[in-house]
């Protein structure tokens, strides 16, 4: 690697953590990223753990895709390489932790925020929820320091401070009993609150004025913290992390594959590195708005990620043209991968809060929302003979993959005899025993996979798409523009092919 390349990837690093969850570290992280970006710095954000919503907000704040870092699913070398490569050209790498500094699944803390900070050589900025605290803040900080001496707590930000007098007391205690500098005190302010619901924060795609709110947070947080001093506390990447930044090798699949990706207010749960892996594997991503698009473009494959289809029931049901196009395409063999919300879209219906809406109907079951989570946490899945995707080169079977799930929905009314790509070894999946329903060339699961972090799903999915295409066909929707699109709602595949609304065309013709 050249000296210039190493320098380009050695952005100073800072990890934002807290004593416990719901301390305000996301708000502080957003404020810092947006304030630094507004000041002309290039900020690369990262989020620890399996999370889709926080990264959306961090990407909006920084203006760059936010990448997830998951010590439970990824090897340390992969995490270090991801941070170093994604930080190319950045002035600062900002990592937002999850839960508390020392929280994690492992008893030894190997998957904690503290372990991630050690792994990356990143100092920690500790966000403390100061409500109801005065002198007790000192032993809290001292305990955090003493629990792991290899983690450097570079400073604290006091959050939700009750006023100038409260702030003065906290600062005096911290300065007297500890050697940790106070780098800011953010006052209790309703303008900094972001709405939450059953899966966490409200996604920025559903916020009426997301960009304006982030700009306000940048001003409010930026005015109450020492941005310049925080930046000087961030440390450059360890030299070992920059030793080998060769990009991962992806198997290319011949002619460029057109992969549809549903991305709109209802569906937005995608990892940045998954989309990068799809492109690196030779895919051209074609984004689809399931709420407004009336037809499918020419596609070789389709990826429908998670999201909140239950909050968009009216808009989804009121788009029968696209639902019909999806149904006909999948029934006729369009290779499709659907995760969680995508599975719900392809079911017969979704029921939520006394409301039932008709969906695509390719999956012979109904998605039913519940008040409490049905499945939540990491999953481990053992592959079955029903898996439609070809095996990875050099990987002998049977294959076990790891991922995560977080869903309040169950899939009900499935007839007996369904085929499943995975048996659930840990987690819930579709029914507590199985996940990855296989219908035609569709694989639909409640589990989320991440390429290179517990599963090499992108290479296998693209290989599957390439095989289907080689057997001949890419999809193109040739609906006429005369308003007849909705006629496909109840049409059979044979009738659709006969009347020309959906027609199979050769891959060569599609590419042309």
pLDDT at 441: 97
What spatial distance separates the first Cα and last Cα of the chain, rounded to whole Å?
Answer: 39
Query: What distance in Å separates the CA atoms of residue 181 and residue 409, rounded to the nearest whole number?
Result: 46
Report yes or no on 124 lying in a domain.
Answer: yes
pLDDT at 198: 60
Q: Which residues contact 305 (CB under 8 A, 6 or more apart)?
A: 261, 262, 263, 267, 268, 269, 270, 339, 340, 341, 342, 448
Residue 421: in which H helix or E strand, if any?
A: strand 419-426
Report yes or no on 419 lying in a domain.
Answer: yes
The DSSP result for 479-501, as a single string, is --SSS-GGGGGG--HHHHHHHTS
Which token pair is 392? 């990875």
List the catalytic residue out of 9, 204, 312, 340.
340
Q: Which residues contact 357 (CB under 8 A, 6 or more apart)?
A: 313, 314, 316, 317, 349, 350, 351
pLDDT at 428: 98
Q: Report the C-alpha dihedral over residues 312, 316, 318, 319, rounded to 10 degrees.
A: 150
Report yes or no on 453 lying in a domain.
Answer: yes
Domain, as residue range, for 227: 11-242
pLDDT at 498: 35
The DSSP result for 394-412, as a single string, is T-PSSPEEEEEEEESEEEE
Indicate if 166 and 90 belong to the same structural domain: yes
| Sign of torsion over alpha carbons 339, 342, 346, 348 | positive
Q: Say if residues 9 and 242 touch (Cβ distance below 8 Å).
A: yes
pLDDT at 7: 45
Of the candidates 168, 204, 258, which has an alpha carbon nearest to the alpha carbon of residue 63?
204
Query: What distance in Å separates the CA atoms of residue 134 and residue 348, rounded to the nearest whole number?
Result: 56
Per-residue pLDDT of 152-176, as tens digits, reads: 999 999 999 999 999 999 999 999 9
Report yes or no on 116 lying in a domain.
Answer: yes
What CATH number corresponds to the domain at position 92? Answer: 3.40.50.300
SS3 string of 21-88? CCCCHHHHHHHHHHHHHHCCCCEEEEEECCCCHHHHHHHHHHCCCCEEECCCCCCHHHHHHHHHHHCC
Query: What distance in Å separates the CA atoms of residue 141 and residue 104, rounded to the nearest whole number?
Result: 19
What CATH number corresponds to the domain at position 362? Answer: 3.40.50.880
Indicate if 228 and 266 belong to the same structural domain: no
pLDDT at 485: 39
Report yes or no on 154 lying in a domain.
Answer: yes
Indicate if 29 and 151 belong to the same structural domain: yes
Exposed, middle or buried: residue 228 (CB in 10 Å: 0-12, 13-18, 19+)?
A: exposed
Looking at 208, 242, 276, the residue that finishes a domain is 242
Indicate if 209 and 336 belong to the same structural domain: no
* Number of DSSP helices (H) and strands (E) in the chain, helices first: 16, 26
Report yes or no on 6 lying in a domain.
Answer: no
Looking at 214, 242, 270, the residue that finishes a domain is 242
Indicate if 235 and 274 belong to the same structural domain: no
Indicate if 189 and 297 belong to the same structural domain: no
pLDDT at 242: 53
Q: Taking the model in full, what pTM does it have? A: 0.87
Does residue 415 sit in helix, strand or coil? coil
Query: What distance in Å separates the CA atoms of residue 45 and residue 171, rounded to the nearest whole number?
Result: 29
Indicate if 281 and 151 belong to the same structural domain: no
Quick check: is 204 catalytic? no
| Sign of torsion over alpha carbons 248, 253, 458, 62 | positive
Number of domains in the chain: 2
Distances (CA, A) of 352 to 322, 367, 368: 22, 9, 6
Give one word for 254, left, alpha or beta, with left for phi > 0 and alpha for psi -120 to 50: left
Does residue 272 sit in helix, strand or coil? helix
Per-residue pLDDT of 170-209, as tens digits, reads: 999 999 999 999 999 999 999 998 877 666 688 888 888 9
Q: Which residues contact 367 (CB under 8 A, 6 or more apart)?
A: 343, 344, 347, 349, 350, 351, 359, 409, 410, 411, 412
pLDDT at 414: 98
pLDDT at 197: 67
pLDDT at 49: 94
Residue ranges, the chain, pLDDT below 50? 1-8, 474-475, 477-512
Q: Where are the beta strands (DSSP E) in 335-387?
A: 336-339, 349-352, 355-358, 366-369, 375-383
Indicate if 369 and 449 belong to the same structural domain: yes
Q: Which residues contact 184 (CB under 8 A, 6 or more apart)?
A: 157, 158, 221, 224, 225, 226, 230
Query: What distance in Å separates the CA atoms of residue 139 and residue 147, rounded to the nearest whole number?
Result: 12
Indicate if 202 and 230 belong to the same structural domain: yes
Report yes or no on 505 lying in a domain.
Answer: no
Indicate if 319 and 229 belong to the same structural domain: no
Indicate if 200 and 277 belong to the same structural domain: no
Indicate if 84 and 187 belong to the same structural domain: yes
Phi, psi at residue 124, to the nearest 5°? -110, 130
Which token pair is 9? 């990837």
Looking at 196, 211, 242, the residue that finishes a domain is 242
Query: What distance in Å separates the CA atoms of residue 183 and residue 84, rounded to the nearest whole number?
Result: 26
pLDDT at 205: 83
Report yes or no on 477 lying in a domain.
Answer: yes
């Amino acid at each position: 690697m050249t000296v210039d390349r190493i320098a380009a990837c050695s952005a100073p690093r800072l990890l934002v953590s807290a004593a416990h969850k719901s301390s305000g570290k996301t708000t502080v992280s957003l404020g810092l990223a947006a304030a630094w970006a507004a000041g002309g710095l290039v900020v690369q954000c990262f989020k620890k753990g399996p999370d889709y919503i926080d990264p959306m907000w961090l990407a909006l704040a920084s203006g760059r895709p936010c990448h997830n870092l998951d010590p439970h699913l990824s090897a340390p070398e992969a995490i270090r390489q991801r941070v170093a490569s994604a930080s190319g050209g950045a002035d600062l790498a900002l990592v937002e932790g999850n839960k508390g500094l020392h929280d994690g699944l492992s008893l030894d803390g190997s998957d904690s925020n503290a372990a991630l900070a050690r792994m990356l050589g990143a100092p920690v900025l500790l966000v403390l929820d100061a409500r109801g605290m005065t002198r007790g803040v000192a032993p809290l900080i001292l305990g955090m320091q003493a629990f792991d001496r290899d983690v450097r707590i570079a400073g604290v930000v006091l959050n939700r401070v009750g006023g100038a007098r409260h702030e003065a007391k906290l600062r005096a205690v911290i300065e007297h009993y500890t050697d940790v500098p106070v780098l800011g005190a953010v006052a209790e302010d309703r303008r900094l609150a972001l709405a939450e619901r059953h899966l966490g924060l409200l996604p920025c795609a559903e916020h009426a004025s997301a960009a304006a709110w982030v700009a306000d947070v940048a001003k409010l947080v930026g005015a109450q913290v020492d941005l310049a001093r925080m930046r000087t506390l961030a440390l450059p990447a360890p030299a070992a992390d920059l030793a080998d930044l060769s990009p991962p090798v992806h198997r290319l699949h011949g002619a460029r594959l057109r992969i549809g990706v549903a991305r709109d207010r209802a569906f937005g749960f995608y990892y940045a590195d998954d989309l990068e892996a799809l492109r690196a594997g030779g895919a051209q991503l074609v984004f689809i708005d399931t709420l407004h698009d009336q037809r499918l473009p020419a596609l070789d494959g389709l990826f429908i990620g998670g999201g909140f289809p239950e909050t968009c029931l009216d808009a989804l049901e009121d788009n029968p043209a696209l639902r019909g196009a999806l149904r006909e395409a999948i029934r006729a063999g369009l290779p499709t991968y659907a995760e969680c919300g995508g599975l719900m879209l392809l079911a017969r219906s979704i029921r939520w809060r006394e409301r039932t809406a008709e969906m695509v109907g390719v999956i012979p079951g109904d998605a039913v929302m519940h008040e409490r989570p049905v499945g939540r946490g990491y999953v481990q899945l053992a592959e079955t003979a029903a898996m439609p995707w070809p095996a990875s080169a050099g990987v002998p079977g049977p294959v076990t993959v790891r991922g995560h799930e977080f869903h309040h929905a169950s899939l009900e009314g499935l007839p007996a005899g369904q085929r499943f790509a995975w048996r659930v070894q840990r987690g819930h999946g579709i029914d507590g025993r199985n996940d990855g329903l296989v219908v035609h060339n569709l694989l639909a699961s409640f589990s989320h996979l991440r390429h290179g972090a517990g599963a090499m799903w992108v290479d296998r999915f693209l290989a599957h798409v390439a095989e289907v295409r080689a057997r001949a066909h890419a999809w193109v929707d040739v609906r006429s523009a005369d308003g007849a699109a909705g006629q496909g709602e109840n049409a059979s595949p044979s009738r659709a092919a006969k009347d020309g609304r959906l027609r199979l065309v050769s891959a060569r013709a599609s590419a042309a």
